[in-house]
Amino acid sequence: MGLTKHLYCLLWLFGLFCLINNSAAQSQSKRSSRITSSRTSFGTNVKSSSSSSSSSSSNSNGVNFDCPEEFGYYPHPTDCTQYYVCVFGGALLESCTGGLMYSHELQTCDWPRNVGCEVVDSGDRDVVISKQQQQQV
């Protein structure tokens, strides 16, 4: 009878161990999915316009962009709603959505009043350019 009690005790401990182990695995899985979902929702006001694996990128305006460094964020030369992300020397053209404009200082999309861009008539279409870029011209 003593052996049976020990066997039941061991089975009970094994069951408890399995229950705790399973609970820990589920908890880890929930944490991983929260981290993954928060990473995918980051940058919800950003829309990818195009991608390129070369060191320069050309958009629909015919503007070529060469990454000055292998990694970094750089404003679009003529459109304050767009910017380039350089990854391993390849330029990815990104666009701010929801009426936001790219802030090079913050390296993210921000409200236009905080960025300092304005619409300039360029003949057949309006182009949004920064005041800093206008002073350089």
Pairwise pLDDT comparison (7 vs 100), residue with the higher score: 100
Q: What's the domain range around 68?
A: 46-136
Looking at the fold, whether 58 and 119 belong to one and the same domain comes out as yes
Looking at the fold, whether 51 and 34 belong to one and the same domain comes out as no
Look at the chain and report how many structural domains it folds into: 2
Looking at the fold, whether 24 and 62 belong to one and the same domain comes out as no
Looking at the fold, whether 79 and 95 belong to one and the same domain comes out as yes
Whether the pTM exceeds 0.75: the reply is no
Model confidence at 136: pLDDT above 60: no
pLDDT value, residue 30:
53
Looking at the fold, whether 36 and 50 belong to one and the same domain comes out as no
Looking at the fold, whether 102 and 131 belong to one and the same domain comes out as yes
d(CA 49, CA 64): 14
Four-CA torsion 113, 50, 92, 59, nearest 10 degrees? -70
Looking at the fold, whether 58 and 1 belong to one and the same domain comes out as no
Looking at the fold, whether 106 and 50 belong to one and the same domain comes out as yes
User: What is the per-residue pLDDT across 62-112, written as a single tens digit (0 to 9) for each?
Assistant: 558 899 999 999 999 889 999 999 999 999 999 999 999 999 999 999 999
pLDDT value, residue 17:
65
Looking at the fold, whether 14 and 79 belong to one and the same domain comes out as no
User: What is the per-residue pLDDT across 105-122, written as a single tens digit (0 to 9) for each?
Assistant: 999 999 999 998 765 545
